[in-house]
Amino acid sequence: MLRLTELRLPLDHPPQALEETVRERLSLAPDALESFSVFRRGHDARRRSAIKLVYTVDCVVKEEAAVLARFRAEHPNNPHVTIAPDMSWQPPVTQAEGARLASQPEYRRPVVIGAGPCGFMAALMLARMGLRPLLLERGKVVRERTVDTFALWRRAELTPESNVQFGEGGAGTFSDGKLYSQVRDPRFLGRRVLEEFVKAGAPEEILYLAHPHIGTFRLVSMVEHIRAEIEAAGGEYRFGTRVDGLEMEAGTRRITGVRTASGEVIAADHVVMAVGHSARDTFAMLHAAGVQMQTKPFSIGVRIEHPQSVIDTAQFGPSAGNDLLGAAEYRLVHHASNGRGVYSFCMCPGGTVVAATSEVGQVVTNGMSQYSRAERNANSGMVVDLRPGEDYPDEPLAGIEFQRHWERQAFLAGGSNYNAPAQRVGDFLAGRPSTTLGAVVPSYKPGVTPTDLSKCLPAFAVEALREALPRFDRKLRGFAMEDAVMTGVETRTSSPLRLPRAADGHSIGTPGLYPAGEGAGYAGGILSAGIDGIRIAEAVALNMAGRPAEG
């Protein structure tokens, strides 16, 4: 199969134009194109008056080798026609081999802690390899978790074990469900994650859109289908089961099991630790148990909201509102003169800002959308990078204390009732507190309190944001509009620490423990967490089968 990249067509091209462009690119005879499919579709909106759709197409042609040779001879410097790579995934341990291992009397099932995208992808792959994983999740099954999450948003009632961060589906369940990532993925594991998501009910378009998303409702049912798959393949879930301790062999520190909050000890030789970036108590437990960990930079800032129509017009000009383009996204970066990087994070077109704390007495913001992205406002994190060792001590748990400090300040500034502190951009830039808000109605629930956001951000972050917003306005007209609303604080941009792994995936110094996903510092987002879940399942399976890790 041949892969053709950079096929550019106008936004309103007729359906047959793509096939014609494929034929033209390859100078094909009329009957030489057997079939073709869109591998990726993105758009180029740099010229707003002439936005282009940009396709990558896979096609089957007669006499492929000859077609390719002719193309290369005629266009020696054109890199846009290649052999399509093999993107299939082969399990390193077959189902039969895994089932044989699992039938041994002394067999101990691999334990996966955390039912987020990393944990459920790891469990799914282990189950498919016949290894019957046991998945332990501190939170609740996703539908019950939804009720608890809405209780914070509607009635300001937080359930610390069941919320936006904790429960089946993990942190990204109530999200925009953006499914793209910038991680290097030479083995196309991301494709495998997306294929599993489609099998579990996600729309097929996620396989070819350059910036796919699935939105909250679909994520919820997808997560349920994945659970059914895991159970059908011999895996098991236990909800309401928080892991509070590790069992290790004295001397070697080899893992022999885990201890749950109820005191039960579950014997295991292989434990995947996929607990996400908000499992602060679990990190403290791991630190006390001597598991190696290091600080990792993350960021702090606010959520910013604009009318989606302002962003659509700024990005797409006269094509704003075109169905193929959808609600416009943006990605902004500014290097401030105080040395800090300011960037947009987790942009949610047509979405809402959500209360995302998992601890009592704290306020944290994040964003979500439905599949339709049809809400009035666009939101994104506007965050400033942090430096361990300068902004807080370079000690593993210090980043968590830093987060907690600013999340508490936000809680106080919001009125100590889970309202978020909010400020108009005009007031923030002028250095005066907001007393009322303007035309942009903030979407954060349970509510917001107009105030001065500089009370809940480090001074360097306030300074960097004040410099960045007018710069962003030059790139995206309207971005620094007076009535745009900022709510704080955005602190859970990524994990504040990293649990280093050896080449074969285990925690350095603690054999049998496999740190994985966002919490361990190996992912940032749903897709990359899923990719890491596959990688770590491979590492566990190979170890269980007594085979060396693959390069």
- Contact, 243 vs 259, CB < 8 A? yes
- Angle, alpha carbons 89-274-271 (nearest 5°): 85
Pick out residues in 30-49 that bind ligand FAD (CB under 6 A): none
b/e per residue, 66-76, with b = 16+ CB within 10 A? ebbeebeeeee
Q: Does 233 bind ligand FAD (CB under 6 A)?
A: no
Cα–Cα distance for residue pair 238/455, rounded to 1 Å: 42
Residue from 226, 279, 304, 476 in contact with ligand FAD (CB under 6 A):
279
Q: Does 220 bind ligand FAD (CB under 6 A)?
A: no
Q: Does 243 bind ligand FAD (CB under 6 A)?
A: yes
User: Which of 276/301 has CB closer to ligand FAD?
Assistant: 276
Stretch that binds ligand FAD, among 201-209, 295-303, 364-372, 402-410 (CB under 6 A): 364-372
Taking residues 473 to 502 in sequence order and writing x for each that binds ligand FAD by CB under 6 A, - otherwise, the string is ------------------------------
Q: Does 276 bind ligand FAD (CB under 6 A)?
A: yes
Give me the phi and psi of 226, to 5 degrees please: -65, -40
User: Which of 53/116 has CB closer to ligand FAD?
Assistant: 116
Stretch that binds ligand FAD, among 33-41, 170-178, 245-253, 387-395 (CB under 6 A): 170-178
- Give the three-state DSSP class for 514: strand
Q: Does 268 bind ligand FAD (CB under 6 A)?
A: no
- Contact, 12 vs 94, CB < 8 A? no
Q: Does 354 bind ligand FAD (CB under 6 A)?
A: yes
Q: Does 381 bind ligand FAD (CB under 6 A)?
A: no
Shortest reach from residue 105's CB to ligand FAD, in Å: 28
- Contact, 55 vs 18, CB < 8 A? yes
Give me the phi and psi of 201, to 5 degrees please: 110, 0
Q: Does 407 bind ligand FAD (CB under 6 A)?
A: no
Residue 529: count other Cβ atoms within 10 Å of its Cβ: 31
Q: Does 136 bind ligand FAD (CB under 6 A)?
A: yes
One-letter amino acid at 462 equals V
Paired strand residues for 488:
302
First CA to last CA distance, the chain:
27
Shortest reach from residue 194's CB to ligand FAD, in Å: 12
Residue from 7, 158, 275, 383 in contact with ligand FAD (CB under 6 A):
275
Which residue in 384, 311, 381, 305 sits closest to 346, CA to CA? 381
User: Which of 197/411 has CB closer to ligand FAD?
Assistant: 197
Cα–Cα distance for residue pair 229/197, rounded to 1 Å: 11
Residue from 25, 242, 280, 535 in contact with ligand FAD (CB under 6 A):
242
Q: Does 283 bind ligand FAD (CB under 6 A)?
A: no
User: Which of 193/440 has CB closer to ligand FAD?
Assistant: 193
Residue from 517, 534, 542, 544 in contact with ligand FAD (CB under 6 A):
517
Shortest reach from residue 277's CB to ligand FAD, in Å: 6
Cα–Cα distance for residue pair 113/257, rounded to 1 Å: 12
Cα–Cα distance for residue pair 381/257, rounded to 1 Å: 39
Give me the phi and psi of 447, to 5 degrees please: 170, 180
Shortest reach from residue 168's CB to ligand FAD, in Å: 7
Residue from 167, 257, 458, 512 in contact with ligand FAD (CB under 6 A):
167
Query: How many angstroms separate the Cα of 222 from the Cα of each of 44, 120, 184, 215?
Result: 31, 11, 25, 11
Q: Does 356 bind ligand FAD (CB under 6 A)?
A: yes
- Report the DSSP pairing between strands 271-273 and 513-515: parallel
Residue from 525, 531, 536, 538 in contact with ligand FAD (CB under 6 A):
525
For 69, residues 6+ apart whose C-beta sits below 8 A from its C-beta are: none
DSSP state of 368: E
Number of H helices, E strands in the chain: 13, 23
User: Which of 36/283 has CB closer to ligand FAD?
Assistant: 283
Burial of 331 (0-12, 13-18, 19+ CB in 10 A): exposed
Stretch that binds ligand FAD, among 63-71, 117-125, 393-401, 449-457 (CB under 6 A): 117-125
Taking residues 178 to 197 in sequence order and writing x for each that binds ligand FAD by CB under 6 A, - otherwise, the string is x-------------------
User: Which of 113/293 has CB closer to ligand FAD?
Assistant: 113
- Contact, 442 vs 308, CB < 8 A? no
HSE, CB side, 13 Å, CA atoms: give it for residue 42: 10
Residue from 58, 195, 312, 518 in contact with ligand FAD (CB under 6 A):
518
From the CA atom positions of the chain, what is the Rg in Å?
Answer: 25
Shortest reach from residue 322's CB to ligand FAD, in Å: 22
Q: Does 359 bind ligand FAD (CB under 6 A)?
A: no
Residue from 36, 166, 208, 418 in contact with ligand FAD (CB under 6 A):
166
Residue from 22, 81, 113, 272 in contact with ligand FAD (CB under 6 A):
113
Residue 107: count other Cβ atoms within 10 Å of its Cβ: 13
Shortest reach from residue 365's CB to ligand FAD, in Å: 9
Q: Does 237 bind ligand FAD (CB under 6 A)?
A: no
- Contact, 26 vs 3, CB < 8 A? no
Paired strand residues for 38:
57
Q: Does 112 bind ligand FAD (CB under 6 A)?
A: no
User: Which of 170/307 has CB closer to ligand FAD?
Assistant: 170
Residue from 25, 138, 340, 373 in contact with ligand FAD (CB under 6 A):
138
Residues that bind ligand FAD in the complex, under the rule CB under 6 A: 113-119, 136-139, 164-167, 170-172, 174-178, 242-243, 274-276, 279, 282, 346, 354, 356, 366-368, 517-519, 523-527, 529
